[in-house]
Structure 1
Amino acid sequence: MNHGTALLPDEDRAAVVDTVMVNNPDMAPQLAGRIVDEAVKYLAAVATAPEPLTPSRLVDEEWHALILHTRVYKRLCDKIGTFVHHVPERPAPGSRGPQVLTKTQARIVAAGHTVDDALWLAPTDASIPVAAGCQHSPGGPEGSCTGDPDGDGPSGPN
């Protein structure tokens, strides 16, 4: 079974973990690494998903850090087979019920990865604080947080 780190070389992973730590100085490095790994698995699942997927608040935190490393992000997207665009919107925890996150977790498992359940907390659960304040919606004319806005990705406009 693949884990997120199999898709991200150690040097790239370390750089992204460092960014997560800079943005969240009170976070344990081991937790930051787990979040990085989970976000990589999330992106791999998005690449083959037939429908939009939503990251947890914690996974979204790492996604933001990963996007800042544009070369690392591009290499990862090339490896998973599609560029996954990110379109932020204002936080709206009520619009993302647990069933949405459960669907995303199921796609991660279907893509051959394990899920770190502790990182898929409900949007209103702040027991693990992170700096990210972004949430996502399904794709629109400007793109999607879950796939290719041009619709030429592996499963159309994810």
Structure 2
Amino acid sequence: MSAATLWKDSQDLVPPKVFDAVVATVRDNNPEMDDHLAQRIVREALKFVATCGRFRDRGMAPSRVVDEGWHALILHTRAYEELCALVGGAVHHYPERPDPTRYNGAVVIFTTSMMQEAGYLPDYQLWGDPQSGEITVAASCTHSPPDCQVSCMNKPGMG
């Protein structure tokens, strides 16, 4: 995907009904969360997937908050498959055992810089250290980069 084909608003990467359904999935998993925050999380997950599709050979990972939105997207399998096809191919998820203490600020900085290179402005509040407690989500999953590669995303040489 070239910079000219990027969507200004990541929400436009999926049909409105899909966006609303993914937001509902985030809310179902986080009943205390308001709609506005759930929408922000899904928009950020869409930016993340689009960036991963564009830069397939880079080791990127979502923050714990953004991962909540990515997981919700993945659950909508047909829509996720269509999204991945739109952004350049499958963006695979390589799960790790949950570890609420795992956080790698360098990976977050790299990922958000790649999002900027892709033409998206990251919502930095959603990319913070999960230990801050500023925004909490149901999943206690944060991914780390073993062997200098991120375990939850496209690994170099993988489709």
TM range (shorter): 0.7 to 0.9
The size of the alignment, in residue pairs, is 150
Partner of 1:37 in structure 2? 43
Deviation at 1:6, TM superposition (A): 1.9
Deviation at 1:43, TM superposition (A): 0.8
Which structure carries more helix by proportion?
A: 2
**Residues 82-140 of structure 1: per-residue CA shift (max 9 Å, x gap):** 10111211234555332221111100010011111111111322221111122224478
Partner of 1:118 in structure 2? 125
State which of 85, 88, 91 in structure 1 corresponds to 2:98: 91
Q: Does 1:130 align with 2:158?
A: no
How large is the RMSD of aligned CA atoms in angstroms?
Answer: 2.2
Deviation at 1:44, TM superposition (A): 0.9
Q: C-alpha distance in 1, partners of 2:96/2:151?
A: 11
Q: C-alpha distance in 1, partners of 2:144/2:126?
A: 20
Q: Closer, same or farther in 2 for the Cα pair 1:139/1:46, shift >3 Å?
A: farther
Q: What is the identity, as a one-letter code, of the residue corresponding to 1:78?
A: A
Partner of 2:62 in structure 1? 55
Q: Closer, same or farther in 2 for the Cα pair 1:134/1:45, shift >3 Å?
A: same
Q: C-alpha distance in 2, partners of 1:148/1:79?
A: 19
Q: Closer, same or farther in 2 for the Cα pair 1:56/1:152, shift >3 Å?
A: closer
For structure 2, the residue ranges without an aligned partner over 5 or more in a row are 1-6
Deviation at 1:65, TM superposition (A): 0.8
CA contact (8 A) 1:43 1:84 kept: yes
- Between the two proteins, what is the percent identity of the paired residues? 45
Q: Does 1:10 align with 2:19?
A: no
Deviation at 1:20, TM superposition (A): 0.5
Q: Does 1:26 align with 2:32?
A: yes
CA contact (8 A) 2:47 2:115 kept: yes
Q: Closer, same or farther in 2 for the Cα pair 1:73/1:148, shift >3 Å?
A: farther
For structure 1, the residue ranges without an aligned partner over 5 or more in a row are 154-158
